[in-house]
Chains A and B, each alone.
Chain A
Amino acid sequence: MTPSSNRPTYYEELRQKGYSRRDFMKFCTTIAAYMGLQASGAAQVAEALKSNSRVPVIWMHFQECTCCSESFIRSSHPIVADVILDKISLDYTETLMAASGHQAEAAMHKTMEEFPGEYVLCVEGSVPVYEDGVYCCIGGRSAADILQETAAGAKAIIAWGSCACNGCVQAAKPNPTGATPIHKLVKGKPIIKVPGCPPIGEVMAGVLVHLVTFGRVPELDRIGRPKAFYSKRVHDTCYRRPFYDAGLFVESFDDENAQKGYCLYKVGCRGPMTYNACGVTKWNNGTSFPIQSGHGCIGCSEENFWDNGPFYRRITNFPGFGIESNADKIGGVVAGVTAAGIAAHAIGTNLRKKKLIDDLIAEGKESDKELS
């Protein structure tokens, strides 16, 4: 991104805030590693943050719980929060900005007018579309309206968290407010999906730094998630994977196998179908992640994870057959009914087609006689 104004660069801002060059370089190295860049990538990141003036960011909060922001400000390096979330870098975010009311709205409009086609729009939360969007209004306007207005001039849109990516909990059946993910409402803009409830802080920082460093959207997968963080399943990077391949499973949370740290597959772990970086990046400064603390993955970064329950069972409920129904139970019943039907049919055949069968037998016996 070319410095389009006399705004200070990221590096200058940081020095003003009291960070040393050493701190800055540490941050660049850390984030480059998280982004999956090679060793020399750290220099690229440093160069970009030194020469590029900061990218204006508008951060919208719609139907959400702010856990994405919480996760972000707790990412492992303090510069992440300072650089991007602190007021110096964020032009508008209801939750963290000092201004409120009309002043906040003014700040948002100022950014939109001054940097059309340059600012990054971050969206946290889904947008309700039922009843003209009255279920989420900010400053008297519906989230749907605000989204369209802010998206129009955005360089790119980042959909933070599962809410913005797939609707998350509020889009679970029956989705009373018509909670809709961003990609279904905004067309013609690059949208980066960063799902998770919340996404990992380092992943969020990595996506933003990638935008700043390379000036373009990171490589995305088919669903629109950055490949650097979402191309592997939690299962593929899980340290309990050897137990899975060895067929050593926890049968219930209080058994001996659970103590031994066996695979949580049979108690409903969603690791094998969840694409996220939890296994490598982990949480809380790389301390742990759910599976490491003995709980299966609930698949929070996957679409419909909330409807695909129960969390503690391998086979999910089968839609349309009530609670406590799974494909195996239904399949078993169908197979049983089929077997019963066949038995009835077999009996019926012998009764109803008796003459036919008798004729066949008689014919066979006749031929047999002729032979002897």
Chain B
Amino acid sequence: MATQNLRRVFVWQLPIRFYHWVNALCIVALCVTGYIIARPPAFQQGTEASFAYWFGINRFLHFAFSYIFLFNFLFRLYWGFVGNRYANWKNFIPTNRKFFHEMWEVIKIDILLQKDKEHLAVGHNALAGFIYFFVFLAFAVQCLTGFGLYAAMSDWWLPNLFAWVPGLFGGDFDLRQIHHATMWFFIVFSIIHVYLVFYHDYVEGRGETSSIIGGWKFIEEDVFIKELEEEKKEEEEFKRKVIEGQKA
């Protein structure tokens, strides 16, 4: 069979890759330390309390990583407006019919495993983008509830910006519940996320996994040219509308 020419596309910019791995590290660290805070293991120690501080250190790590997580998250939101087209916020919020159409395609091909078809997206596919939208929401929920709980322990103005959050729920009770339950969203998401990366790499052979390390993805030339043409058409359509608008 014929080999295909692949075009190299620079998809994930360095700040995005950096964000991704810092985020991954933070989520793993926060899940582990957070779970320990919720359910501390029974270390039977003979030591006096004054010589031990492991639970305090664990909490410290949780809070330290949460700051990194927050700033990293804020940076990603910023990059959604200044980054390249694959990082743009429009990848995550369905704004047109094409977005929904592509989501349905992804569901058919990737989840219902429609036979011998492959869906080739250069950046995030529409379904992934839409799911990331909810992931960002979960990030926001964790930041709000987490720093809301933390505010009472801190004198710094930054966490105290979140001091209004417990008031919404009448206290810390429900806040903890939400914060803890949302952790499971991250765990389940991570499992699916990693699997789907492997899946795409496996059935497409386009370097899905390594793209988040080097930033490169590869795409078949004919698909690439089709994309390019569509892109041009859209641009012309947009220009035409603008000119029409100016005339009117």
- Across the interface, B202 reaches (CB within 8 A) one of A266, A334, A349, A359, namely A349
A248 neighbours in B (Cβ, 8 Å): 45, 49, 52
Shortest B169–chain A CB gap in Å is 8
- Contacts A334-B184, A338-B191 known; A265 to B40 CB distance under 8 Å? yes
B173 neighbours in A (Cβ, 8 Å): 270, 273, 299, 302-305, 308, 316
Q: Is the CB of B181 within 8 A of A335?
A: no
Shortest A140–chain B CB gap in Å is 34
Q: Is the CB of B171 within 8 A of A349?
A: no
Q: Interface-forming stretch among A25-33, A127-135, A362-370?
A: A362-370
A275 neighbours in B (Cβ, 8 Å): 152, 171
Closest to A308 in B: B173
Chain B's interface size range is: 35 or more
Q: Is B26's CB within 8 Å of the partner chain A?
A: no
The count of residues in chain A whose C-beta lies closer than 8 Å to any C-beta of chain B is 56
Q: Is A98's CB within 8 Å of the partner chain B?
A: no
Measured CA separation A137–B12 after assembly (Å)? 69
Q: Interface-forming stretch among B111-119, B207-215, B225-233?
A: B111-119
Interface residues of A in 244-281 (CB under 8 A from B): 244-249, 251, 265-266, 270, 272-275
Interface residues of A in 270-314 (CB under 8 A from B): 270, 272-275, 299, 302-305, 308, 314
Q: Is the CB of B177 within 8 A of A366?
A: no
Q: Is A315's CB within 8 Å of the partner chain B?
A: yes
- Contacts A266-B40, A363-B4 known; A353 to B115 CB distance under 8 Å? yes
- Across the interface, A246 reaches (CB within 8 A) one of B49, B153, B167, B205, namely B49
Q: Is the CB of B116 within 8 A of A356?
A: yes
Q: What is the interface of chain A mostly: helix, strand, loop, or mixed?
A: helix
- Across the interface, B199 reaches (CB within 8 A) one of A233, A236, A243, A345, namely A345
Q: Is the CB of B191 within 8 A of A366?
A: no
Interface residues of B in 43-63 (CB under 8 A from A): 43, 45, 47, 49-56, 58-59
Q: Is B174's CB within 8 Å of the partner chain A?
A: yes
Q: Is the CB of B180 within 8 A of A327?
A: yes
Of B58, B152, B169, B199, most buried by chain A (CB within 10 Å of CB) is: B152
B111 neighbours in A (Cβ, 8 Å): 345
B114 neighbours in A (Cβ, 8 Å): 352
Interface residues of B in 159-177 (CB under 8 A from A): 163-164, 166-167, 169-174, 176-177
B4 neighbours in A (Cβ, 8 Å): 363
8 more A-B contacts (CB under 8 A) besides A222-B164, A245-B49, A245-B59?
Answer: A248-B45, A274-B172, A318-B181, A328-B38, A338-B188, A345-B111, A349-B203, A356-B116
The chain A residues found within 8 Å of chain B, CB to CB, are 166, 222-223, 233, 236, 242-249, 251, 265-266, 270, 272-275, 299, 302-305, 308, 314-316, 318, 327-328, 330-331, 334-335, 338-339, 342, 345-346, 348-349, 352-353, 355-357, 359-360, 362-364, 366-367
30 inter-chain pairs at a CB distance below 8 angstroms, sorted by A residue, are A222-B164, A223-B166, A242-B50, A243-B49, A245-B55, A246-B54, A246-B56, A247-B40, A247-B52, A248-B45, A266-B39, A273-B171, A273-B173, A303-B169, A303-B170, A304-B170, A308-B173, A308-B177, A315-B38, A327-B177, A328-B180, A331-B181, A331-B184, A331-B187, A331-B188, A339-B191, A353-B113, A362-B1, A363-B205, A364-B205
The chain B residues found within 8 Å of chain A, CB to CB, are 1, 3-4, 38-40, 42-43, 45, 47, 49-56, 58-59, 111, 113-116, 118, 152-153, 163-164, 166-167, 169-174, 176-177, 180-181, 183-184, 187-188, 191-192, 195, 199, 202-205
Of all A-B residue pairs in the complex, the 7 with the closest CB atoms, nearest first, are A331-B184, A303-B170, A247-B55, A273-B172, A245-B56, A246-B52, A246-B49
